[in-house]
Structure 1
Amino acid sequence: MWTLRTRLVVAILALTAVGLVLADVVGAALLRGYLIDRLDQQLTSNATALARVSTAFDFTSLQLPTEVIAKRLAVDNRFYVYAPDGSLAYLMSPEADDPQLPPFAELAARGGQEFDVPSDSGPWRVAVQPALNGGVAVVAGSLRPILDTESKLNVIQVLVTAAVLLLLGAAGAAVVRLGLRPLTRMELASSRIASGDFAHRAPGPDPHTEPGRLALAMNVMLDRVEREIAARSASEVRLRQFLADASHELRTPLTSVRGFAELYRHGGSPPGPELDETMRRIEEEATRMGVLVQDLLTLAALDQERPLDRRPVDLLEIAADTIRDARARVPERKIRLMPYGTGPLMPVIVPGDDARLRQVLTNLVSNALTHTPAEAEITVRVGVSSAQGVVEVADTGPGIPAEDAPYIFERLYRASRSRSRSDGGAGLGLAIVAAIVRAHGGRVELGDEPGGARFRILLPR
C-alpha cells in the first residue's frame, strides 16, 4: 500500500505527464498542419505559374528550356505538364523516387486540389492546376522534410517531457514532504500517545491551515479523552472505596448482632435486665443496618434518575415542619427559623418532590444536631435569591475542616474530626442531599464563612 506522500507525488506526475503529452500531440498536429499548409501554398503557386507558362508553348513541337523553368520555379519539386490528349509533354528532374501520379483523367478531375501520393522513398504532396489549353500542370513536393521535422520534434518532446517529469518529481516530492510535515508531526504525536503518553499533544495547531485545524481538533479530543479517563479512574477508585466502606458499615452491625446472639445462645444473657439490654442492642444495630441499607437504596434510585413526583411545594412549610420535628426529638437544642435576606418570612413555592425535599432538610438539620455541641445554635433560613428558592441551614459549631470540604458530599465520606461511627452517621446523609437537589435541577453549596458550617440549597422556581 502506497503512502500518502507517494500517492500525491505519483498523482502530480501522472497529471503533468498527461498534460505534457496532450500539449505535445496538439503541438505536433498544429506544426504538421502549418507545414503542410505552407507546402500546399508553395505547390499551388508553382503549379499555377507552370500552367500559365505552359500555355505559351506548343508541347508537341517545342521542348521547354529547363534552365528557364529552374529559375522561375523551385528546383526541389517535381514538375509535370500534360497535353490536352493526356500525354506527358514535360517532366522536370525525373528521378527514381519520383511520386507515383494517378492517370491523367484523375489528375484532370482533381484540378485545383492538393493531395498525397506514394513513392518508393515516401509520400509526396501534389498540387494540380488546369491549363488554358486543356492540359494540366502538376507540381509535386516531397513530405520527407516535414516527416523528418516531426521525428526530430518528437524526440525533442520526449526528452523534454522526461526531463520535466524528472525535475517535477523531485520538486514535487520536496514540496509534498514539506506540506505533509504537520501530518508527520501528528503521526509521531499519535504514536507517542498510543504508547501511553496521554499528556503529549500535537505540536503547532495553527487554525489557519487544514493540518493546524486537525491538530487543534485532535488536541481538544485528547483533552476530553484524558479528562474522561481521569474521571473514570477516579470513579472506579470511588466505587471500590464505596463498596469497601459499605461492606464495612454493614459488617459492623452484623458483627454486633451475631455477637449478642451468640452471647445469648451460650447463656451469657439470662432472663432479666441483661437479656433486655442484649435485645435492645440487637434492635439498635438492626435499626442502624436498616437505615444504612435504606440510604443505599435511596442513592441507587437517584442514580437511576427515576422520575420525581413533582408538584408545587412550599419550602417554608417544609422548613417549619422539620424544625418542629427536631425540637420534639431534642427539645434542649436551640433551632431557629429566619428569613433568607432582608425580607420577612414568606411562602416560597417551587416545583419538586415533597417527600424528597423533606428528606433533604431532615438530613441537614440532623447532621447539624449530630456534629455540633449542645450549646451550638442552628438556624434555618428560607427565601428567594435570583429567582431561585433558597433554604440555608447554618450552625455555630466547629465547622468543617478545609481539607474535608471538597469531599463532604461524597458517599461514605466522614470528616476526620467531626464525623465518626460513634457519632452515628455513615457518611451518606450529605451525599443523599446532593443527589436529591441535583435531581431537582438545583445545587447545594457549602459556605466558607468562619464559625460553623453553612449549607445553602438553591432550587429553580
Structure 2
Amino acid sequence: MPARRSPWALRRTLVLATVALITTAALVIGIVSVVSVQSILMGRIDAQLTAATSRSTDAVGPDPGQTPPGGSSSPDFIRTLGQSVGTLGAVSVDGTIVAAAYLDSNLNSPVLTGRQVAELQDAHIGSAPTTVYLGATLGNYRAVALKLDSHVSIIVGLPLADLEATISELVLAVLAVTVTALVLAGAGAYALVRLSLRPLERVAGAATAVSSMTLDRGEVALAVRVPDADADDSTEVGRVGAAINRMLEHVSHALTARQASEDKVRRFVSDASHELRTPLASIRGYAELTRMGGQELPEDAAYALGRIESESQRMTSIVEDLLLLARLDEGRQLEREPVDLTSVVADAVSDARASAPDHSWRIADGGGAVVVLGDRQRLFQIVMNLLANARVHTPAGTNVTASVTVEGESEARRAVVTVHDDGPGIDPDLVGAVFERFARGDSSRTRATGSTGLGLAIVQGVAAAHGGAASVTSEPGSTTFRIELPLTEGAPE
C-alpha cells in the first residue's frame, strides 16, 4: 500500500495557489496578446500583399505576353516602383512556374533556386493569402496568385521575417514580464499570507499551550486565552479564537468544579480515616482484653472475638492505606534520607518467603548498593505490595524474582526495581487500570484472599512522590512490575 502523502501546510497551499492562479492568468493574457498581435500584423501583411499584387498587375498590363516566359530572367513586376524589399514574384504558365525571383536589399532580383521553386509550386497558392516556407534563406512568405488569362498567372509574395521577429520579441517580453510578475507575486503572496495567518498562529499557539498542560489531575490554573485582538467575531480566524476562548472558559469551570469535588472527597477520606482509627483501636483493644481476661469463654464467643479482632486489624490496614493515599494526594512531603534499595528489596523478599513458602522467591544478582533519597518505610511498603500482589494473584509454585539495577547515563541515571513472576498474567483489558484505586476483578488470576485494590495505587503514589514512576508489562507466563526512581548522585554503576 503506497505511503500516504503528508498534507501541505496552509501557508504553502495559499502561496502556491496564488502563484498558480497568477501564472495561469499571465499565460492566458500572454497567449491572447501574442495571438492578437500576430493576427493584427498578419492582417497588415495581407493588406500590403493586396497592394503589392495590385501594383504587379498594373506593371504587367493587360497583355500577359509582356511577361518574360521564364528561363534565367526574373519577372519585371517585382521591380515596380513601390514594391518593398523582399517582394517575391513568379510567373506560372498552365500551372508550371516558369520564372521566379525576389527583390533583395540592393534592389536586385536574384532568381529562386530549384528547391525554392519546388516549394512554391507545391504550395498550390490560390487567390487567398497562403503562408509558404521557402527554406532557411528566405524563410516564410505570405503569397497570393492572380490569373491574368486562362494560361498565365502571377504569384506575389511578401516575407514574414519582420512579423516573426516582432512576435519573437513580444514572446520574450511577455515571458520576462511574466517571470518578474511571478517572482514579485510570490514574494508578495508569501508576505501577505504570513501576515494574514499570524492571528491563526497565535490561536494555534494558545491551543498548543493548553494541550501541553496536565489537566487530568491536581489544581489547574487555566489562564491561557486567545488575545482579544484575535477573537473578533467579524473575521473567520476571530470566530475560531472566540470559540476557543469560550471552550477554555467552560473547561476551566469544569476543572475547577472537578478539583473542588476531588478536594471534598480527599478531605472526607482523610477525616474519615482519622476518625475511624480511634474506634478501630478501641474495638481491637476490647476484643484482646476480653480474650485475655482469663475467663473461660464459650467456643462460639471466642470465635466471634477472634473474628472481631481479625476484621478490625484488616479494617485498620484499609484505613491506613486510605490515609496514606489522602496524604499523597495533598502533596505532603515524605522523608528524604539515603536508602539502599538493595537492602530494602532483600528484606522484603525475606519477609515474603516467610509468609508464602509455597512460592519460589529469589533476588537477581545485583551490583552492590543502589542508593536513592527517599522514605525507607514507604519504599519498603511498595516493594512488599508488589510481592504481595504476586503472591495473591499467582498460584502456588510460581517463581517470583526481584531485582535492583541502575539504568541510563550521566545525569539521566535512575534506579530500577523490578518484580517479575511467571504466573498466568494480567487480563489485557485490565493492564491499563491496575494502578487505579479499587481496581479489582482480574479474572485471569486466581485470588486466594481478598484485596482492597489499594496496593498498586499506593505503589504508584509513593513512586510519584519520590519523583519516579511505576509501570507494568504482562503476557501469559510473564508479568513484570517496574519502579523507576531518581538515583542519588555518587551511587555505584
TM (norm. structure 2) is 0.48
In the alignment, which residue of structure 2 is the partner of 1:238?
264
Change (3 A) 1:154 1:105: closer
In the alignment, which residue of structure 1 is the partner of 2:287?
261
In the alignment, which residue of structure 2 is the partner of 1:26?
32
The answer to whether the 8 Å contact 1:108/1:130 transfers is no
- Distance, in Å, in 2 between the alignment partners of 1:27 and 1:34 is 10
In the alignment, which residue of structure 1 is the partner of 2:327?
none
- Distance, in Å, in 1 between the alignment partners of 2:288 and 2:97 is 148
Q: Could you say what the CA RMSD is over the residues aligned between the two structures, in angstroms?
A: 3.8
In the alignment, which residue of structure 2 is the partner of 1:366?
none
- Distance, in Å, in 1 between the alignment partners of 2:10 and 2:67 is 83
- Distance, in Å, in 2 between the alignment partners of 1:11 and 1:61 is 65
Find 2:225's aligned residue among 198, 201, 222.
Answer: 201
Instruction: List runs of 5+ in structure 1 lacking aligned partners.
Output: 272-278, 290-461
In the alignment, which residue of structure 1 is the partner of 2:12?
6
- Distance, in Å, in 2 between the alignment partners of 1:216 and 1:199 is 15
Cα deviations by residue, 1:58-113 (Å, 9 ceiling, x for unpaired) = 43587999589522544441122334584636755333777924489767773445
Matched pairs, number: 275
Cα deviations by residue, 1:181-235 (Å, 9 ceiling, x for unpaired) = 2112223333443454730211121000011001101111111222222222222
- Partner SS state of residue 198, structure 1: coil
In the alignment, which residue of structure 2 is the partner of 1:436?
none
Cα deviations by residue, 1:403-425 (Å, 9 ceiling, x for unpaired) = xxxxxxxxxxxxxxxxxxxxxxx
In the alignment, which residue of structure 2 is the partner of 1:15?
21
Q: Which amino acid aligns with 1:267?
A: G
Q: Map of 1:403-414 to 2, 5 A cutoff?
A: none
- Partner SS state of residue 89, structure 2: strand
Change (3 A) 1:92 1:178: closer
- Distance, in Å, in 2 between the alignment partners of 1:252 and 1:83 is 137
Cα deviations by residue, 1:302-323 (Å, 9 ceiling, x for unpaired) = xxxxxxxxxxxxxxxxxxxxxx
Q: Map of 1:287-436 to 2, 5 A cutoff?
A: none
In the alignment, which residue of structure 2 is the partner of 1:118?
134
The answer to whether the 8 Å contact 1:264/1:270 transfers is no
In the alignment, which residue of structure 2 is the partner of 1:100?
116
- Partner SS state of residue 135, structure 2: coil
- Distance, in Å, in 2 between the alignment partners of 1:155 and 1:129 is 37
- Distance, in Å, in 1 between the alignment partners of 2:67 and 2:48 is 30
- How far off its partner does 1:48 sit? 4.5
- How far off its partner does 1:137 sit? 1.6
- Distance, in Å, in 2 between the alignment partners of 1:139 and 1:109 is 10
The answer to whether the 8 Å contact 1:48/1:129 transfers is no
In the alignment, which residue of structure 1 is the partner of 2:367?
none
Aligned-pair identity (%):
31
Residue 70 of structure 1 pairs with residue 94 of structure 2: no
- Distance, in Å, in 1 between the alignment partners of 2:195 and 2:286 is 81
Residue 128 of structure 1 pairs with residue 116 of structure 2: no
Q: Which amino acid aligns with 1:39?
A: I
Change (3 A) 1:53 1:164: same
Choose 1 or 2 for highest CA Rg.
1
The answer to whether the 8 Å contact 2:75/2:101 transfers is no
- Distance, in Å, in 2 between the alignment partners of 1:247 and 1:23 is 85
- Partner SS state of residue 100, structure 1: helix
